[in-house]
Structure 1
């Protein structure tokens, strides 16, 4: 096998910002102010459990658009994908970068916890247990937590590859530290959300009432914070515009989507392309790539394999003219 390498580009990727803090610290406000920047294009705002989207539109200069959804996971994830596609269109057209705001990721994880709790309560053994004692404690088993984490990771893969500026808000609080499930006398700051939220963000900012913003950590050469060595950095009156363009030095002309190389990520990318395919020719291209990568029969948790997804999408597009469908039917027939 021939070794394949390339030199690093040294360009700054599109940032995924985590903006967290205590109550009324200005997290949503900061995101709304970013939309007023003349350095960004459309700002798309997904209000997820916070309720600030309509009122904050009155902030001087704010010019974001509220993304409509019905509160369900399928509806929200569909709109996140649509925002991703719009951001890519803007990049391809040479327009100013799109900003996507998720307000908030605390509500996202709360919804997922409620979803798996409801699933646990509907199981036969638990349902009978609750019939005898409505106050009985119901344990959420690992397989259900895997479902919740799987959904969260699906969302994060889109946000981590967003071809523009993505902003996630979350609640944070000083809490009592636990040791093996028991409280201790130690205090620690905790971001309220899925446990890997801060890891997945490329920049972590904390806001507090009456305090200057802090950059807690940043995957950046230019931010002046060496990971694992430097303490959090306070930046007086820092705005998100200043953070993205001046501190991180993100240049829309050279910015790129972060690259990941795991098999699961590859499969999810292919499944996403299948879902967006608008023609049989596109499906044929995905099928050939999946076959070359040897992932045709690979899927994700509780989901279809790439091959199954292609076949299902082909049925949706079966109304296409026969001349277009014949090459794909031939390719798909070879895979079965």
Structure 2
């Protein structure tokens, strides 16, 4: 895809018409926008192109581009060429479309305020959301042209303009500006500037044969598109068709839904295991031992596989199961900690010959539900690890859009919260809570202090929200956040607040909204849904206070 930009009457269209007669290509499809001279250049010596008709609307122009891009090669196997004349008119068309919408909006606002409509045709503002629409439509044309397996020539106007300084004042320096969408030079293979009649300069060219950096301007004497294509090696290419695979962002929907289904299944399994454990029915010891062994020997990320085993069964249940391990007989939760100590930070086992893992850190977790007693393990009680502080994990960068809660009041957190109507109407707590306790009584607000850095406040907000999510999906908090705790971690403060946790919170939000609705709290569901994809949410404390959390 070549951008042929030039000043007025510099020979852009002439060169494109002359190229249609090259023996490097088969047919040439000429898509004209606003120039009205397409038939005129048919008299250029050797020119042989076909005008592609359209009605001037964006949709019809897009259909014309798609039709031309998918035309098959001839029997000689030579690629077809497409000429779009001009890209400047196309960008003006997209801007004019949004100007019409902006004028209509202005007239509607005037009518609503009972004011006379403006008679000034320039009295409107094209908003940023409208420019985004124009850019998306522009991208549809570019994407259609990329599917073409032959040369594409895009003609565009170019003007010499004055450079302004940082204060907005004009300087004596001047530069060349292409009249089209500003990213166009980055979308094409290379740019040819015609700064006068047939005075050509190369300004950026992606090619192993003719490599010109974007910041370089190289004179190109004897310019013709046929010569340029030969210098790029088009005459030496085989007849194989070029393949272009367009990005498919819609494929993320299937991936996202599959991950939500996996999380829902995992949490459902954990809830069922807890219910069975409350009746004294624990998972089979050999089944759990095999699951831990398979995770330890997996070819993928062993750390993640081990943590998934813990999340699947629940740390409190695993702590009640005594299993045989290479380190002796111990409870399953400690066995996972032991296996994690032999896993390198990359997620793979430590290589042979490395030092033997030290005893698992931290005491054996106390079971949250009653069950049969567990035989004492042969290992001595290890010394507990010092609990990390609230600092986020290395490399963590807070959401660039994160801003502190505008309603934050340092003294407000010291005051008791008034009773919340939403909290008063809540149903009873899950099985592991007493019947008289409020369902949100075990939650806490994000701890904010005046001296906190923005990243620390963001981490606190994420820890507060992930505890709410654990409660709503019916999974113990430490089981819910097991993938984000260090080996032997037993405190919410040890949650590592990185980008993986941000993704985890986003993925679970739809389930939490559903849980609020099932609890008969549609207003809470509506408010929580407004968090959208923004993690951390600066409004989490306000939301928790409305639920009665203090």
Q: Shared topology, TM-score over 0.5?
A: yes
CA RMSD of aligned residues (A): 2.7
- When residues 296 and 174 of structure 1 are mapped into structure 2, their CA distance, relative to the original with a 3 A threshold, is farther
Match of 2:180? 193
From 110, 127, 131, the equivalent of 1:145 is: 131
In structure 2, C-alpha distance between the alignment counterparts of 1:241 and 1:53, rounded to whole Å: 20
In structure 2, C-alpha distance between the alignment counterparts of 1:66 and 1:180, rounded to whole Å: 46
Match of 1:97? 79
For structure 2, list consecutive stretches of 5 or more residues without a partner in the other structure. 259-550
In structure 2, C-alpha distance between the alignment counterparts of 1:291 and 1:180, rounded to whole Å: 41
Match of 2:12? 27
Tell whether 2:96 aligns with 1:114. yes
Match of 2:219? 234
Match of 2:296? none
- When residues 174 and 126 of structure 1 are mapped into structure 2, their CA distance, relative to the original with a 3 A threshold, is farther
Alignment check: 8 A CA contact 1:160 1:200 kept? no
Q: Residue 101 of structure 1: CA displacement? A: 0.4
> Where is the strand percentage greater, Structure 1 or Structure 2?
1
For structure 1, list consecutive stretches of 5 or more residues without a partner in the other structure. 1-15, 268-289, 298-336
CA deviation vs aligned residue, 1:147-194 (integer Å, no higher than 9, x gap): 101100111111223211111000001012245793521322100011
From 174, 188, 203, the equivalent of 1:216 is: 203
Tell whether 2:231 aligns with 1:247. yes
Alignment check: 8 A CA contact 1:223 1:247 kept? yes
- When residues 153 and 133 of structure 1 are mapped into structure 2, their CA distance, relative to the original with a 3 A threshold, is same
Tell whether 2:147 aligns with 1:161. yes
Q: TM-score, normalised by structure 2?
A: 0.43
In structure 2, C-alpha distance between the alignment counterparts of 1:117 and 1:179, rounded to whole Å: 29
CA deviation vs aligned residue, 1:67-118 (integer Å, no higher than 9, x gap): 11111111110011111110xx218x66211110000000000001000000
In structure 2, C-alpha distance between the alignment counterparts of 1:183 and 1:107, rounded to whole Å: 29
In the alignment of these two chains, the number of paired residues is: 251
Determine helix, strand or coil for the equivalent of 2:25: coil
Tell whether 2:153 aligns with 1:170. no
In structure 2, C-alpha distance between the alignment counterparts of 1:65 and 1:296, rounded to whole Å: 47
In structure 1, C-alpha distance between the alignment counterparts of 2:111 and 2:132, rounded to whole Å: 21
Q: Residue 40 of structure 1: CA displacement? A: 0.8
Determine helix, strand or coil for the equivalent of 1:90: coil
In structure 2, C-alpha distance between the alignment counterparts of 1:36 and 1:131, rounded to whole Å: 58
Tell whether 2:48 aligns with 1:66. no
- When residues 42 and 181 of structure 1 are mapped into structure 2, their CA distance, relative to the original with a 3 A threshold, is farther
In structure 1, C-alpha distance between the alignment counterparts of 2:41 and 2:111, rounded to whole Å: 43
Q: Residue 234 of structure 1: CA displacement? A: 1.5
Determine helix, strand or coil for the equivalent of 1:182: coil
In structure 1, C-alpha distance between the alignment counterparts of 2:92 and 2:199, rounded to whole Å: 28
- When residues 236 and 90 of structure 1 are mapped into structure 2, their CA distance, relative to the original with a 3 A threshold, is same
From 44, 51, 60, the equivalent of 2:29 is: 44
Q: Residue 27 of structure 1: CA displacement? A: 0.4
- When residues 56 and 256 of structure 1 are mapped into structure 2, their CA distance, relative to the original with a 3 A threshold, is same
In structure 2, C-alpha distance between the alignment counterparts of 1:295 and 1:151, rounded to whole Å: 26
Match of 1:184? 170
Q: Residue 253 of structure 1: CA displacement? A: 2.4
In structure 2, C-alpha distance between the alignment counterparts of 1:295 and 1:50, rounded to whole Å: 46
In structure 1, C-alpha distance between the alignment counterparts of 2:110 and 2:206, rounded to whole Å: 44
- When residues 139 and 255 of structure 1 are mapped into structure 2, their CA distance, relative to the original with a 3 A threshold, is same
In structure 2, C-alpha distance between the alignment counterparts of 1:27 and 1:263, rounded to whole Å: 35
In structure 2, C-alpha distance between the alignment counterparts of 1:140 and 1:57, rounded to whole Å: 39
- When residues 292 and 188 of structure 1 are mapped into structure 2, their CA distance, relative to the original with a 3 A threshold, is closer
Determine helix, strand or coil for the equivalent of 1:189: strand
* Greater RCO (Cα-Cα under 8 Å, separation 6 or more): 1
Alignment check: 8 A CA contact 2:163 2:174 kept? yes
Bigger mean CA offset, 133-142 vs 151-160: 133-142
